Structure 1
Amino acid sequence: MSHPILNPRNLEAWQAAKERGEALLIGYLIAGDPNAEEALDVMQEIVEAGIDIIELGIPSREPKLDGPIIQRGHGRAFAGGMDTEEALLAHCRQIRERLSVPIWAMGYKADVVGSGLYLKLVAEGLIDALVLPDCSLEDMVQVQQEVAGAEVDVVRFANGGMDDETLVRVCDGAGIIYAMSYAGTTGDPMANVTDLSGLCAKLRASLPDGMLVSGFGLRTPEKVGQAITSGFDGAVVGSALVARRENDEKDSLYRLVAEMKMETMTTHEG
């Protein structure tokens, strides 16, 4: 059976984790937060601390699906020089040169697709996946068709509020599914992680060979462990990391990543 994941780096990272008896830990940081040099150093450090995949936030002037923590990070990135496409592309080239882990570009439709930025990132081989949270399923299928020849995956979104028919459509032709553990903006301190086991089981039934990752609300190592014991292949953490960047708590950031990574080792049964 052919594997639905297109990108060799994504597949290699996943297979290597499985061979170690681990799940993937995917860490979100914003490109150029608070400046390109510091951002690059921190990305290298969190990879050394245990991050398997970098989810690179593309700075946006209107980060409408993000909460205050990540919104402020977008603002710092612009203030720190990530205010032109060329600056962003140069930063992405440096990231690719320094890091061997997969890079997923996460950004809003207007900033990434509407601007044509995604085609440049793909053409230069700077990313391994696109994560487009405000795109429709039809948009994602269209983008996937455009970038499939370059072996770039387009991550699709699912959540517990979708009916079974919708979940089947989301999985059709997908390689990687990002299951949102709650509805709303990122980093909501009042959000409760919903029934991840049931959602994972439904997704797995429709996409048995795809990569299923969960995110939103995974603020602590314990919540990462909860996502993994629910059956997911990986956990995505974002606001908790960006908050430590905001406060320049580097030691705390690296310790948190290491503790979260431990949860992918001790609880993973896949």
Structure 2
Amino acid sequence: MTKRSNKMKKILLFVVLTILALITLVPFFWMLSSSVKANNDVYTVPIQWIPKEFHWDNYSAIWERIPLATFFKNTAFLSVIITLIQLFTSSFAAYGFSKMHFKGRDILFLAYIGTIAVPWQSYMIPQFIMIRKVGLTDSLWSLVLLQAFNAFGVFLLKQYYSSIPDSLCESARIDGLSEWGIYRRIILPLTKPAIASLTIITFVNTWNDYMGPFIYLTSTENKTIQLGLKMFVGLYDAEYALIMAASVVSVLPVAVVFLSMQKYFVEGIATSGMKG
């Protein structure tokens, strides 16, 4: 009876979670359905989940109405470059805070991590003034410079690095391996889940960032996909099907990155909190 009861509980839990997942996905299903409809059919009541006539030409029309390819290129450039730089800087800093011993290490780490609690709006204006003084306004490199370091990334990787026994590093030092060699040959191969987690988080945040590009980028040739969608809505606010098609296209890269690395993402998030 106990085994049967546990089995029924698992089945019930699975059914409830499935229903909740489907409810969460309803807006995405509606967006996909609306992207291949005519404009007059988007807000019909009741909702037609399967269109009577599929308008696949919506996906070709959006590339002609606005320079969507340019927006994609700019967003991909920022997402890839910023992700790579943050992985490099965060992993280096996390290694120093977790595996190297120096005076004031813990105080410095707490001070650096404490910057997470400072709202971005409080130092947004000083940042803008500094970027303007160095002449990087309306440049993609301004966003790269501002997002080259990430306190959350250091915290995430440091927690994961702390779960690796210090004896491995000590043995490597005794064998004559340098700190760079320990980092490259021991730490990095053992921290793929954490690296994958930070890759997904950084890529998604950069791809979906709106306020940063809105403040620093003004010319059309430098705008990102989020600014492009806002411009598209402003120009074609009544063509809902095209807006939905553009939204679907903008979501695809994020979905591909997440789905391809979700296994490591779950493992990295779960393991990073094992040891503080």
**TM-score for both structures, normalised by structure 1:** 0.21
- Larger RCO (alpha carbons 8 Å, 6+ apart): 2
Greater CA radius of gyration, 1 or 2? 2
Higher strand share: 1
**TM-score for both structures, normalised by structure 2:** 0.21
